[in-house]
Chains A and B, each alone.
Chain A
Protein backbone atom coordinates (compact mmCIF):
# COMPACT_ATOMS: atom_id res chain seq x y z
CA UNK A 1 0.00 0.00 0.00
CA UNK A 2 2.88 2.38 0.77
CA UNK A 3 4.13 2.11 -2.79
CA UNK A 4 0.78 3.40 -4.03
CA UNK A 5 0.84 6.50 -1.83
CA UNK A 6 1.38 9.72 -3.68
CA UNK A 7 1.48 13.27 -2.46
CA UNK A 8 -0.15 16.03 -4.44
CA UNK A 9 -1.29 19.57 -3.85
CA UNK A 10 -4.84 20.75 -3.96
CA UNK A 11 -5.64 24.13 -5.55
CA UNK A 12 -5.81 25.68 -2.08
CA UNK A 13 -2.26 24.52 -1.42
CA UNK A 14 -3.00 21.91 1.24
CA UNK A 15 -0.94 18.79 0.89
CA UNK A 16 -3.09 15.78 0.15
CA UNK A 17 -1.81 12.31 0.82
CA UNK A 18 -3.83 9.67 -0.92
CA UNK A 19 -3.50 6.31 -2.53
CA UNK A 20 -3.49 6.55 -6.31
CA UNK A 21 -7.08 6.80 -7.52
CA UNK A 22 -6.83 3.76 -9.75
CA UNK A 23 -5.50 1.53 -7.01
CA UNK A 24 -8.13 2.75 -4.55
CA UNK A 25 -10.80 2.34 -7.13
CA UNK A 26 -9.84 -1.32 -7.63
CA UNK A 27 -10.08 -1.85 -3.88
CA UNK A 28 -13.60 -0.40 -3.92
CA UNK A 29 -14.62 -2.76 -6.74
CA UNK A 30 -13.23 -5.78 -4.89
CA UNK A 31 -14.79 -4.86 -1.54
CA UNK A 32 -18.12 -4.09 -3.16
CA UNK A 33 -18.15 -7.47 -4.93
CA UNK A 34 -17.04 -9.37 -1.83
CA UNK A 35 -19.75 -7.91 0.38
CA UNK A 36 -22.42 -8.15 -2.31
CA UNK A 37 -21.79 -11.89 -2.61
CA UNK A 38 -21.83 -12.27 1.18
CA UNK A 39 -24.99 -10.24 1.46
CA UNK A 40 -26.84 -12.29 -1.15
CA UNK A 41 -25.73 -15.73 -0.09
CA UNK A 42 -26.78 -15.04 3.50
CA UNK A 43 -30.42 -14.52 2.54
CA UNK A 44 -32.16 -17.91 2.85
CA UNK A 45 -35.30 -16.56 1.20
CA UNK A 46 -33.15 -15.74 -1.79
CA UNK A 47 -30.94 -18.83 -1.97
CA UNK A 48 -33.72 -21.38 -1.59
CA UNK A 49 -35.82 -20.27 -4.57
CA UNK A 50 -32.94 -19.22 -6.82
CA UNK A 51 -30.76 -22.28 -6.30
CA UNK A 52 -33.38 -24.65 -4.96
CA UNK A 53 -36.16 -24.34 -7.54
CA UNK A 54 -34.16 -25.03 -10.72
CA UNK A 55 -32.50 -28.00 -9.01
CA UNK A 56 -35.86 -29.26 -7.77
CA UNK A 57 -37.41 -28.93 -11.24
CA UNK A 58 -34.43 -30.66 -12.78
CA UNK A 59 -34.51 -33.54 -10.32
CA UNK A 60 -38.28 -33.90 -10.66
CA UNK A 61 -38.81 -33.56 -14.42
CA UNK A 62 -35.35 -34.41 -15.71
CA UNK A 63 -34.48 -37.33 -13.46
CA UNK A 64 -37.31 -38.83 -11.38
CA UNK A 65 -39.99 -38.73 -14.10
CA UNK A 66 -37.59 -40.27 -16.60
CA UNK A 67 -37.04 -43.34 -14.43
CA UNK A 68 -37.30 -46.43 -16.65
CA UNK A 69 -37.24 -44.36 -19.86
CA UNK A 70 -34.57 -45.87 -22.13
CA UNK A 71 -33.59 -42.37 -23.30
CA UNK A 72 -33.37 -41.08 -19.74
CA UNK A 73 -29.70 -40.04 -20.08
CA UNK A 74 -30.53 -37.96 -23.18
CA UNK A 75 -33.47 -36.29 -21.43
CA UNK A 76 -31.27 -35.63 -18.38
CA UNK A 77 -28.71 -34.00 -20.66
CA UNK A 78 -31.34 -31.96 -22.49
CA UNK A 79 -32.91 -30.70 -19.30
CA UNK A 80 -29.56 -29.95 -17.73
CA UNK A 81 -29.15 -27.38 -20.52
CA UNK A 82 -32.68 -25.96 -20.37
CA UNK A 83 -33.22 -25.92 -16.58
CA UNK A 84 -29.70 -24.57 -16.24
CA UNK A 85 -30.73 -21.66 -18.46
CA UNK A 86 -33.94 -21.26 -16.45
CA UNK A 87 -31.91 -21.08 -13.23
CA UNK A 88 -29.28 -18.57 -14.26
CA UNK A 89 -31.90 -16.32 -15.88
CA UNK A 90 -33.98 -16.36 -12.66
CA UNK A 91 -30.96 -15.30 -10.66
CA UNK A 92 -30.24 -12.44 -13.07
CA UNK A 93 -33.81 -11.17 -13.21
CA UNK A 94 -34.69 -11.55 -9.54
CA UNK A 95 -31.50 -11.08 -7.56
CA UNK A 96 -30.10 -8.38 -9.79
CA UNK A 97 -33.07 -6.75 -11.51
CA UNK A 98 -35.55 -6.84 -8.66
CA UNK A 99 -32.76 -6.42 -6.11
CA UNK A 100 -31.50 -3.16 -7.60
CA UNK A 101 -35.06 -1.87 -7.98
CA UNK A 102 -35.71 -2.61 -4.32
CA UNK A 103 -32.50 -0.96 -3.11
CA UNK A 104 -33.38 2.06 -5.21
CA UNK A 105 -36.92 2.22 -3.89
CA UNK A 106 -35.85 1.82 -0.29
CA UNK A 107 -33.32 4.63 -0.48
CA UNK A 108 -30.27 2.45 0.06
CA UNK A 109 -28.93 3.19 -3.42
CA UNK A 110 -29.12 6.93 -2.61
CA UNK A 111 -26.85 6.40 0.40
CA UNK A 112 -24.35 4.63 -1.85
CA UNK A 113 -24.65 7.30 -4.53
CA UNK A 114 -24.02 10.08 -2.02
CA UNK A 115 -20.73 8.39 -1.11
CA UNK A 116 -17.64 8.58 -3.36
CA UNK A 117 -18.23 4.99 -4.49
CA UNK A 118 -18.18 4.85 -8.31
CA UNK A 119 -21.63 3.71 -9.38
CA UNK A 120 -20.02 1.25 -11.80
CA UNK A 121 -18.57 -0.56 -8.76
CA UNK A 122 -22.08 -1.12 -7.47
CA UNK A 123 -23.34 -2.54 -10.76
CA UNK A 124 -20.18 -4.56 -11.40
CA UNK A 125 -20.57 -6.17 -7.97
CA UNK A 126 -24.18 -7.05 -8.79
CA UNK A 127 -23.18 -8.63 -12.11
CA UNK A 128 -20.26 -10.57 -10.63
CA UNK A 129 -22.43 -11.87 -7.79
CA UNK A 130 -25.06 -13.02 -10.26
CA UNK A 131 -22.41 -14.83 -12.29
CA UNK A 132 -20.89 -16.42 -9.17
CA UNK A 133 -24.23 -17.72 -7.92
CA UNK A 134 -25.08 -18.87 -11.46
CA UNK A 135 -21.81 -20.80 -11.63
CA UNK A 136 -22.51 -22.43 -8.25
CA UNK A 137 -25.97 -23.45 -9.46
CA UNK A 138 -24.57 -24.91 -12.68
CA UNK A 139 -21.88 -26.84 -10.80
CA UNK A 140 -24.48 -28.37 -8.49
CA UNK A 141 -26.77 -29.25 -11.39
CA UNK A 142 -23.91 -30.82 -13.34
CA UNK A 143 -22.90 -32.98 -10.38
CA UNK A 144 -26.52 -34.09 -9.90
CA UNK A 145 -26.91 -34.76 -13.64
CA UNK A 146 -23.70 -36.80 -13.83
CA UNK A 147 -24.31 -38.82 -10.65
CA UNK A 148 -28.06 -39.42 -10.79
CA UNK A 149 -28.95 -38.76 -14.44
CA UNK A 150 -26.01 -40.59 -16.01
CA UNK A 151 -25.19 -37.55 -18.12
CA UNK A 152 -21.94 -38.28 -19.95
CA UNK A 153 -19.97 -35.57 -21.73
CA UNK A 154 -16.37 -34.65 -22.45
CA UNK A 155 -14.51 -32.42 -19.99
CA UNK A 156 -14.61 -29.68 -22.61
CA UNK A 157 -18.39 -29.95 -22.88
CA UNK A 158 -18.89 -29.78 -19.11
CA UNK A 159 -16.69 -26.72 -18.95
CA UNK A 160 -18.33 -25.05 -21.93
CA UNK A 161 -21.81 -25.70 -20.52
CA UNK A 162 -20.99 -24.07 -17.20
CA UNK A 163 -19.19 -21.17 -18.89
CA UNK A 164 -21.89 -20.51 -21.49
CA UNK A 165 -24.77 -20.66 -19.01
CA UNK A 166 -22.92 -18.49 -16.51
CA UNK A 167 -21.87 -15.81 -19.00
CA UNK A 168 -25.23 -16.19 -20.74
CA UNK A 169 -26.80 -14.60 -17.67
CA UNK A 170 -25.25 -11.22 -18.52
CA UNK A 171 -27.92 -10.04 -21.02
CA UNK A 172 -30.57 -11.03 -18.47
CA UNK A 173 -28.87 -8.91 -15.82
CA UNK A 174 -29.35 -5.98 -18.19
CA UNK A 175 -32.92 -7.10 -18.84
CA UNK A 176 -33.60 -7.17 -15.10
CA UNK A 177 -32.20 -3.66 -14.72
CA UNK A 178 -34.25 -2.42 -17.68
CA UNK A 179 -37.46 -3.85 -16.21
CA UNK A 180 -36.64 -2.44 -12.78
CA UNK A 181 -36.04 1.06 -14.12
CA UNK A 182 -39.07 1.07 -16.43
CA UNK A 183 -41.56 -0.56 -14.06
CA UNK A 184 -40.46 1.29 -10.91
CA UNK A 185 -39.23 -0.20 -7.64
CA UNK A 186 -42.55 -1.51 -6.39
CA UNK A 187 -43.64 -3.10 -9.65
CA UNK A 188 -40.34 -4.71 -10.60
CA UNK A 189 -41.02 -8.07 -8.90
CA UNK A 190 -44.58 -8.56 -10.23
CA UNK A 191 -43.57 -7.47 -13.75
CA UNK A 192 -40.63 -9.89 -13.79
CA UNK A 193 -42.94 -12.65 -12.59
CA UNK A 194 -45.53 -11.90 -15.25
CA UNK A 195 -42.96 -11.74 -18.03
CA UNK A 196 -40.58 -14.49 -17.07
CA UNK A 197 -42.72 -17.63 -16.82
CA UNK A 198 -44.47 -17.22 -20.20
CA UNK A 199 -41.16 -16.20 -21.77
CA UNK A 200 -39.41 -19.25 -20.31
CA UNK A 201 -42.21 -21.52 -21.50
CA UNK A 202 -42.25 -20.12 -25.05
CA UNK A 203 -38.45 -20.29 -25.21
CA UNK A 204 -38.57 -24.03 -24.61
CA UNK A 205 -37.08 -24.03 -21.13
CA UNK A 206 -39.77 -26.36 -19.73
CA UNK A 207 -40.74 -28.40 -22.75
CA UNK A 208 -38.78 -28.48 -26.03
CA UNK A 209 -39.64 -25.57 -28.29
CA UNK A 210 -40.34 -28.06 -31.13
CA UNK A 211 -43.26 -29.46 -29.15
CA UNK A 212 -45.00 -26.10 -29.05
CA UNK A 213 -47.64 -25.20 -31.67
CA UNK A 214 -46.04 -23.93 -34.87
CA UNK A 215 -47.19 -20.32 -34.58
CA UNK A 216 -45.58 -20.10 -31.15
CA UNK A 217 -42.33 -21.64 -32.34
CA UNK A 218 -41.67 -18.71 -34.65
CA UNK A 219 -42.19 -16.41 -31.70
CA UNK A 220 -39.42 -18.08 -29.70
CA UNK A 221 -36.71 -16.58 -31.92
CA UNK A 222 -37.40 -13.10 -30.59
CA UNK A 223 -37.17 -14.25 -26.96
CA UNK A 224 -33.74 -13.98 -25.35
CA UNK A 225 -33.98 -17.17 -23.21
CA UNK A 226 -34.53 -19.22 -26.37
CA UNK A 227 -31.05 -18.32 -27.57
CA UNK A 228 -29.39 -19.19 -24.30
CA UNK A 229 -31.20 -22.54 -24.17
CA UNK A 230 -30.23 -23.31 -27.79
CA UNK A 231 -26.62 -22.34 -27.15
CA UNK A 232 -26.54 -24.66 -24.14
CA UNK A 233 -28.18 -27.49 -26.11
CA UNK A 234 -25.55 -27.14 -28.81
CA UNK A 235 -22.84 -27.17 -26.15
CA UNK A 236 -24.04 -30.47 -24.68
CA UNK A 237 -24.32 -32.01 -28.14
CA UNK A 238 -28.12 -32.37 -28.30
CA UNK A 239 -28.33 -29.88 -31.16
CA UNK A 240 -25.71 -29.73 -33.92
CA UNK A 241 -23.36 -26.86 -33.14
CA UNK A 242 -24.20 -25.01 -36.32
CA UNK A 243 -25.89 -21.85 -35.02
CA UNK A 244 -23.79 -21.19 -31.92
CA UNK A 245 -22.52 -17.90 -33.30
CA UNK A 246 -26.03 -16.79 -34.23
CA UNK A 247 -27.25 -17.44 -30.69
CA UNK A 248 -24.23 -15.71 -29.18
CA UNK A 249 -24.82 -12.74 -31.47
CA UNK A 250 -28.50 -12.67 -30.49
CA UNK A 251 -27.60 -12.73 -26.78
CA UNK A 252 -25.02 -9.96 -27.23
CA UNK A 253 -27.59 -7.96 -29.21
CA UNK A 254 -30.29 -8.39 -26.56
CA UNK A 255 -27.74 -7.51 -23.88
CA UNK A 256 -26.84 -4.29 -25.68
CA UNK A 257 -30.48 -3.40 -26.26
CA UNK A 258 -31.43 -3.94 -22.60
CA UNK A 259 -28.36 -2.03 -21.45
CA UNK A 260 -29.49 0.94 -23.55
CA UNK A 261 -33.05 0.68 -22.19
CA UNK A 262 -31.77 0.39 -18.62
CA UNK A 263 -29.52 3.38 -19.08
CA UNK A 264 -32.38 5.46 -20.52
CA UNK A 265 -34.48 4.41 -17.53
CA UNK A 266 -31.63 5.26 -15.18
CA UNK A 267 -31.23 8.76 -16.58
CA UNK A 268 -34.97 9.34 -16.57
CA UNK A 269 -35.02 8.29 -12.95
CA UNK A 270 -32.21 10.65 -11.92
CA UNK A 271 -33.62 13.24 -9.63
CA UNK A 272 -36.96 11.55 -9.19
CA UNK A 273 -38.06 10.15 -5.89
CA UNK A 274 -40.01 7.04 -5.13
CA UNK A 275 -41.95 6.69 -1.91
Chain B
Protein backbone atom coordinates (compact mmCIF):
# COMPACT_ATOMS: atom_id res chain seq x y z
CA UNK B 1 0.00 0.00 0.00
CA UNK B 2 1.50 3.27 -1.00
CA UNK B 3 0.19 5.93 1.32
CA UNK B 4 1.82 9.31 0.90
CA UNK B 5 1.63 11.76 3.73
CA UNK B 6 0.86 15.25 2.40
CA UNK B 7 3.44 17.91 3.16
CA UNK B 8 0.73 20.07 4.68
CA UNK B 9 -2.84 19.26 5.59
CA UNK B 10 -5.79 21.18 6.95
CA UNK B 11 -8.70 19.00 8.12
CA UNK B 12 -11.97 20.88 8.61
CA UNK B 13 -9.94 23.74 10.03
CA UNK B 14 -11.72 26.87 11.21
CA UNK B 15 -10.25 29.97 12.77
CA UNK B 16 -12.19 32.66 14.58
CA UNK B 17 -10.64 35.90 15.82
CA UNK B 18 -12.89 37.38 18.49
CA UNK B 19 -16.17 37.32 16.57
CA UNK B 20 -14.71 37.40 13.09
CA UNK B 21 -14.51 34.13 11.18
CA UNK B 22 -11.23 34.10 9.27
CA UNK B 23 -11.42 30.53 8.04
CA UNK B 24 -14.41 28.22 7.95
CA UNK B 25 -14.15 24.47 7.75
CA UNK B 26 -11.29 24.31 5.29
CA UNK B 27 -9.85 20.95 4.23
CA UNK B 28 -6.80 21.02 2.01
CA UNK B 29 -3.94 18.65 1.21
CA UNK B 30 -0.76 20.07 -0.24
CA UNK B 31 2.05 18.05 -1.82
CA UNK B 32 4.40 16.43 -1.39
CA UNK B 33 5.93 18.18 -4.37
CA UNK B 34 4.62 20.92 -6.59
CA UNK B 35 3.71 24.55 -6.30
CA UNK B 36 0.30 25.47 -4.92
CA UNK B 37 -0.87 29.06 -5.12
CA UNK B 38 -3.39 30.22 -2.59
CA UNK B 39 -5.17 33.01 -4.38
CA UNK B 40 -7.67 35.45 -2.98
CA UNK B 41 -8.43 39.06 -2.22
CA UNK B 42 -7.20 40.80 0.94
CA UNK B 43 -8.79 39.41 4.06
CA UNK B 44 -9.86 36.21 2.29
CA UNK B 45 -8.07 33.93 4.76
CA UNK B 46 -4.79 33.33 2.92
CA UNK B 47 -2.50 34.56 5.67
CA UNK B 48 -4.60 32.80 8.31
CA UNK B 49 -4.15 29.53 6.41
CA UNK B 50 -0.39 30.06 6.34
CA UNK B 51 -0.32 30.96 10.04
CA UNK B 52 -2.19 27.80 10.97
CA UNK B 53 0.15 25.66 8.88
CA UNK B 54 3.20 27.32 10.44
CA UNK B 55 1.84 26.79 13.93
CA UNK B 56 1.77 30.55 14.53
CA UNK B 57 -1.92 30.24 15.37
CA UNK B 58 -3.99 27.30 16.51
CA UNK B 59 -7.21 26.40 14.69
CA UNK B 60 -10.41 27.12 16.63
CA UNK B 61 -11.65 23.74 15.44
CA UNK B 62 -10.33 21.05 13.14
CA UNK B 63 -6.69 20.10 12.81
CA UNK B 64 -3.54 21.07 10.96
CA UNK B 65 -0.49 18.93 10.26
CA UNK B 66 2.90 19.37 8.62
CA UNK B 67 4.37 16.11 7.31
CA UNK B 68 1.84 14.32 9.48
CA UNK B 69 3.03 16.04 12.66
CA UNK B 70 2.24 19.04 14.81
CA UNK B 71 3.42 22.25 13.07
CA UNK B 72 4.57 23.60 16.43
CA UNK B 73 7.17 20.90 16.91
CA UNK B 74 10.76 21.80 16.11
CA UNK B 75 11.03 18.59 14.08
CA UNK B 76 8.26 19.86 11.78
CA UNK B 77 9.72 23.33 11.55
CA UNK B 78 13.15 21.98 10.66
CA UNK B 79 11.66 20.75 7.38
CA UNK B 80 10.06 24.01 6.34
CA UNK B 81 10.99 27.58 5.56
CA UNK B 82 8.75 30.61 5.59
CA UNK B 83 8.91 33.94 3.86
CA UNK B 84 6.32 36.08 5.62
CA UNK B 85 5.18 39.66 5.28
CA UNK B 86 7.40 41.63 7.64
CA UNK B 87 7.07 45.31 8.42
CA UNK B 88 10.58 45.69 9.70
CA UNK B 89 13.62 43.41 9.87
CA UNK B 90 16.51 44.28 12.22
CA UNK B 91 18.39 46.76 10.09
CA UNK B 92 21.78 46.88 11.76
CA UNK B 93 22.73 43.28 11.04
CA UNK B 94 24.53 42.47 7.82
CA UNK B 95 23.03 40.13 5.24
CA UNK B 96 25.67 37.48 6.01
CA UNK B 97 24.96 37.77 9.75
CA UNK B 98 21.21 37.28 9.29
CA UNK B 99 21.88 34.20 7.19
CA UNK B 100 24.53 32.86 9.55
CA UNK B 101 22.11 33.14 12.49
CA UNK B 102 19.24 31.38 10.71
CA UNK B 103 21.56 28.61 9.56
CA UNK B 104 22.28 27.72 13.20
CA UNK B 105 18.57 26.97 13.70
CA UNK B 106 18.67 23.95 11.40
CA UNK B 107 20.37 20.58 11.84
CA UNK B 108 21.43 20.34 8.18
CA UNK B 109 21.51 23.87 6.81
CA UNK B 110 22.10 24.68 3.17
CA UNK B 111 25.72 25.78 2.49
CA UNK B 112 26.04 29.55 2.75
CA UNK B 113 27.32 29.96 -0.81
CA UNK B 114 24.30 28.07 -2.16
CA UNK B 115 21.92 30.26 -0.19
CA UNK B 116 23.53 33.41 -1.57
CA UNK B 117 23.38 32.07 -5.11
CA UNK B 118 19.80 30.80 -4.84
CA UNK B 119 18.56 34.10 -3.42
CA UNK B 120 20.59 36.24 -5.82
CA UNK B 121 22.48 37.94 -3.01
CA UNK B 122 26.03 37.49 -4.23
CA UNK B 123 28.15 40.50 -3.33
CA UNK B 124 25.63 41.82 -0.80
CA UNK B 125 26.82 39.83 2.23
CA UNK B 126 28.49 42.79 3.93
CA UNK B 127 25.58 45.15 3.46
CA UNK B 128 23.46 46.00 6.46
CA UNK B 129 19.82 45.10 5.99
CA UNK B 130 18.82 48.73 6.41
CA UNK B 131 20.94 49.72 3.40
CA UNK B 132 19.18 47.36 0.98
CA UNK B 133 16.56 48.17 -1.63
CA UNK B 134 13.04 46.78 -1.38
CA UNK B 135 13.74 43.96 -3.82
CA UNK B 136 17.00 43.06 -2.08
CA UNK B 137 15.21 42.95 1.27
CA UNK B 138 12.71 40.43 -0.06
CA UNK B 139 15.63 38.36 -1.36
CA UNK B 140 17.10 38.27 2.14
CA UNK B 141 13.77 37.09 3.54
CA UNK B 142 13.73 34.43 0.82
CA UNK B 143 17.30 33.48 1.78
CA UNK B 144 16.28 33.10 5.44
CA UNK B 145 13.39 30.88 4.37
CA UNK B 146 15.71 28.48 2.51
CA UNK B 147 18.50 28.38 5.13
CA UNK B 148 17.31 25.01 6.39
CA UNK B 149 17.22 23.45 2.91
CA UNK B 150 13.48 22.94 3.46
CA UNK B 151 11.24 20.24 2.02
CA UNK B 152 8.41 22.74 2.04
CA UNK B 153 8.55 26.48 1.51
CA UNK B 154 5.87 29.01 2.41
CA UNK B 155 5.85 32.27 0.50
CA UNK B 156 3.32 34.79 1.77
CA UNK B 157 2.85 37.53 -0.85
CA UNK B 158 6.54 37.35 -1.81
CA UNK B 159 6.48 40.04 -4.50
CA UNK B 160 4.04 42.52 -2.99
CA UNK B 161 4.99 46.00 -4.14
CA UNK B 162 7.62 44.86 -6.66
CA UNK B 163 8.01 46.41 -10.07
CA UNK B 164 7.48 44.09 -13.03
CA UNK B 165 11.15 43.45 -13.70
CA UNK B 166 12.07 42.66 -10.10
CA UNK B 167 9.05 40.41 -9.86
CA UNK B 168 10.05 38.43 -12.92
CA UNK B 169 13.61 37.93 -11.76
CA UNK B 170 12.31 36.83 -8.39
CA UNK B 171 10.05 34.30 -10.10
CA UNK B 172 13.10 32.87 -11.85
CA UNK B 173 14.71 32.24 -8.47
CA UNK B 174 11.61 30.58 -7.11
CA UNK B 175 11.34 28.40 -10.23
CA UNK B 176 14.96 27.30 -9.90
CA UNK B 177 14.27 26.36 -6.30
CA UNK B 178 11.10 24.41 -7.16
CA UNK B 179 12.88 22.32 -9.75
CA UNK B 180 14.61 20.49 -6.91
CA UNK B 181 11.37 18.66 -6.13
CA UNK B 182 10.11 20.61 -3.17
CA UNK B 183 6.65 21.62 -2.07
CA UNK B 184 5.77 25.29 -2.20
CA UNK B 185 2.74 27.09 -0.88
CA UNK B 186 2.52 30.56 -2.33
CA UNK B 187 -0.09 33.12 -1.36
CA UNK B 188 -0.72 35.95 -3.73
CA UNK B 189 -3.41 38.16 -5.08
CA UNK B 190 -1.71 38.42 -8.44
CA UNK B 191 -3.34 36.04 -10.90
CA UNK B 192 -0.26 36.47 -13.09
CA UNK B 193 2.00 35.30 -10.30
CA UNK B 194 -0.09 32.24 -9.55
CA UNK B 195 -0.18 31.48 -13.27
CA UNK B 196 3.58 31.89 -13.68
CA UNK B 197 4.60 29.71 -10.76
CA UNK B 198 1.88 27.33 -9.70
CA UNK B 199 0.71 24.02 -11.03
CA UNK B 200 -2.35 24.16 -8.80
CA UNK B 201 -4.38 27.17 -7.74
CA UNK B 202 -6.64 27.20 -4.71
CA UNK B 203 -8.96 30.19 -4.67
CA UNK B 204 -10.06 31.29 -1.24
CA UNK B 205 -12.56 33.94 -0.24
CA UNK B 206 -14.44 34.80 2.95
CA UNK B 207 -12.59 32.00 4.68
CA UNK B 208 -13.68 29.22 2.32
CA UNK B 209 -12.14 27.47 -0.66
CA UNK B 210 -14.23 28.40 -3.68
CA UNK B 211 -12.15 26.86 -6.46
CA UNK B 212 -9.29 24.39 -6.72
CA UNK B 213 -7.66 23.37 -9.95
CA UNK B 214 -4.90 23.87 -12.50
CA UNK B 215 -4.24 27.46 -13.66
CA UNK B 216 -6.02 26.70 -16.94
CA UNK B 217 -9.14 25.44 -15.16
CA UNK B 218 -9.23 28.43 -12.84
CA UNK B 219 -8.69 31.00 -15.58
CA UNK B 220 -11.53 29.48 -17.57
CA UNK B 221 -13.83 30.07 -14.61
CA UNK B 222 -12.86 33.69 -14.11
CA UNK B 223 -12.56 34.71 -17.76
CA UNK B 224 -14.61 37.55 -19.20
CA UNK B 225 -14.48 41.30 -19.35
CA UNK B 226 -16.17 44.20 -17.73
CA UNK B 227 -18.30 46.81 -19.46
CA UNK B 228 -19.18 50.11 -17.89
CA UNK B 229 -21.67 52.56 -19.44
CA UNK B 230 -24.36 55.14 -18.76
CA UNK B 231 -27.58 54.03 -20.39
CA UNK B 232 -31.32 54.60 -20.64
CA UNK B 233 -31.89 50.86 -20.68
CA UNK B 234 -33.56 49.39 -17.63
CA UNK B 235 -31.99 46.83 -15.35
CA UNK B 236 -34.25 44.15 -16.84
CA UNK B 237 -33.30 45.12 -20.41
CA UNK B 238 -29.65 44.76 -19.51
CA UNK B 239 -30.13 41.45 -17.80
CA UNK B 240 -31.90 40.12 -20.88
CA UNK B 241 -28.83 40.63 -23.10
CA UNK B 242 -27.26 37.22 -23.77
CA UNK B 243 -23.79 36.75 -22.26
CA UNK B 244 -24.22 39.03 -19.24
CA UNK B 245 -23.09 37.04 -16.23
CA UNK B 246 -23.12 39.79 -13.66
CA UNK B 247 -24.75 43.20 -13.40
CA UNK B 248 -24.54 46.15 -11.08
CA UNK B 249 -27.00 48.92 -11.93
CA UNK B 250 -27.47 52.25 -10.23
CA UNK B 251 -29.53 55.12 -11.71
CA UNK B 252 -28.49 54.54 -15.32
CA UNK B 253 -24.88 53.71 -14.47
CA UNK B 254 -24.24 50.07 -15.27
CA UNK B 255 -21.37 47.65 -14.70
CA UNK B 256 -21.63 44.36 -16.52
CA UNK B 257 -19.43 41.31 -16.45
CA UNK B 258 -19.71 39.55 -19.78
CA UNK B 259 -18.26 36.56 -21.56
CA UNK B 260 -18.07 38.21 -25.00
CA UNK B 261 -17.53 41.95 -24.66
CA UNK B 262 -17.76 42.83 -28.38
CA UNK B 263 -21.17 41.26 -28.99
CA UNK B 264 -22.66 42.67 -25.79
CA UNK B 265 -21.30 46.15 -26.63
CA UNK B 266 -22.84 45.92 -30.12
CA UNK B 267 -26.16 44.95 -28.55
CA UNK B 268 -26.00 47.82 -26.07
CA UNK B 269 -25.26 50.44 -28.72
CA UNK B 270 -27.96 49.04 -30.98
CA UNK B 271 -30.60 49.26 -28.23
CA UNK B 272 -29.60 52.64 -26.81
CA UNK B 273 -28.37 55.31 -29.24
CA UNK B 274 -27.76 57.76 -26.39
CA UNK B 275 -25.50 55.35 -24.53
CA UNK B 276 -22.39 57.12 -23.17
CA UNK B 277 -19.26 56.62 -21.04
CA UNK B 278 -18.63 53.23 -22.62
CA UNK B 279 -15.61 51.46 -21.18
CA UNK B 280 -14.47 47.91 -21.70
CA UNK B 281 -11.80 46.52 -19.43
CA UNK B 282 -10.29 43.24 -18.34
CA UNK B 283 -11.59 41.73 -15.14
CA UNK B 284 -9.49 42.42 -12.11
CA UNK B 285 -8.88 39.32 -10.13
CA UNK B 286 -10.75 40.77 -7.21
CA UNK B 287 -13.87 41.15 -9.36
CA UNK B 288 -13.41 37.67 -10.69
CA UNK B 289 -13.37 36.38 -7.13
CA UNK B 290 -16.49 38.33 -6.44
CA UNK B 291 -18.15 36.61 -9.36
CA UNK B 292 -16.97 33.24 -8.09
CA UNK B 293 -17.99 33.84 -4.48
CA UNK B 294 -21.39 35.24 -5.32
CA UNK B 295 -22.25 32.23 -7.41
CA UNK B 296 -21.22 30.01 -4.52
CA UNK B 297 -22.78 31.82 -1.58
CA UNK B 298 -26.02 32.98 -3.15
CA UNK B 299 -27.77 29.69 -2.60
CA UNK B 300 -27.40 29.40 1.19
CA UNK B 301 -28.08 33.09 1.71
CA UNK B 302 -31.25 33.02 -0.36
CA UNK B 303 -32.54 30.10 1.70
A residues near B (Cβ < 8 Å) are: 16-19, 24, 27-28, 31-32, 35, 38-39, 42-43, 102-103, 105-108, 110-111, 113-118, 270-273
Contacts and interface: CB of A to CB of B under 8 A. Distances in A.
A110 B101 contact: no
Given A39-B93, A42-B92, A31 B100 contact: yes
A182 B225 CA distance: 49
Contacts of B58: 270-271
Interface stretch (B105-113, B159-167, B169-177, B180-188): B105-113
Interface of B: 15, 17, 47, 51, 54-58, 74, 77-78, 80-82, 84-90, 92-93, 97, 100-102, 104-108, 128, 141, 144, 148, 154
Nearest to A18: B107
Contact of A39 (B78, B90, B106): B90
A116 B106 contact: yes
A3 B107 CA distance: 15
Contacts of A271: 15, 17, 51, 56-58
Contacts of B80: 114
Contacts of B101: 31-32, 35
8 contacts: A24-B107, A38-B93, A38-B97, A110-B51, A114-B54, A115-B105, A116-B78, A270-B57
A158 B193 CA distance: 63
Contact of A113 (B56, B89, B100, B104): B56
Give the top 7 A-B pairs by smallest Cβ distance, nearest first: A42-B92, A106-B87, A271-B57, A18-B107, A106-B88, A114-B82, A116-B77
A107 B97 contact: no
B104 A111 contact: no
B17 A272 contact: yes
Contact of B87 (A35, A38, A105): A105
A27 B17 contact: no
Contacts of A18: 107-108
A109 to B, nearest CB: 10
B92 A116 contact: no
B92 A106 contact: no
Contacts of A16: 107
B93 A107 contact: no
Given A38-B92, A114-B54, A114-B56, A19 B107 contact: yes
Contacts of A107: 84-88
Contacts of B89: 108, 111
Which of A32, A117, A272 has the most C-beta atoms of chain B within 10 angstroms of its own C-beta? A117
A35 B105 contact: no
B55 to A, nearest CB: 8
A249 to B, nearest CB: 36
Nearest to A117: B105
A27 B104 contact: yes
B60 to A, nearest CB: 9
Given A106-B87, A111-B84, A31 B104 contact: yes
A110 B77 contact: no
Nearest to A121: B105
A17 B17 CA distance: 41
Contacts of B144: 111, 115
Contact of B90 (A24, A105, A108, A118): A108
Contacts of B128: 42
Given A32-B101, A38-B93, A102-B88, 7 more contacts: A31-B101, A42-B92, A107-B88, A110-B84, A111-B89, A115-B77, A116-B106
Nearest to A34: B101
Contacts of B154: 114
Contacts of A272: 17, 57
Contacts of B141: 111
A32 B100 CA distance: 10
A111 B54 CA distance: 10
Which one of A18, A39, A270 has the greatest number of beta carbons of chain B within 10 Å?
A: A39
A222 to B, nearest CB: 34
A16 B151 CA distance: 14
Contacts of A38: 92-93, 97
B155 to A, nearest CB: 12
A114 B107 contact: no
Contacts of B55: 114
A273 B20 CA distance: 12
Contacts of B107: 16, 18-19, 24
A144 to B, nearest CB: 27
B77 A108 contact: no
A42 B92 CA distance: 6
B84 A114 contact: yes
Nearest to A44: B92
A116 B148 contact: yes
A35 B88 contact: no
Contacts of B57: 270-272
A268 to B, nearest CB: 12
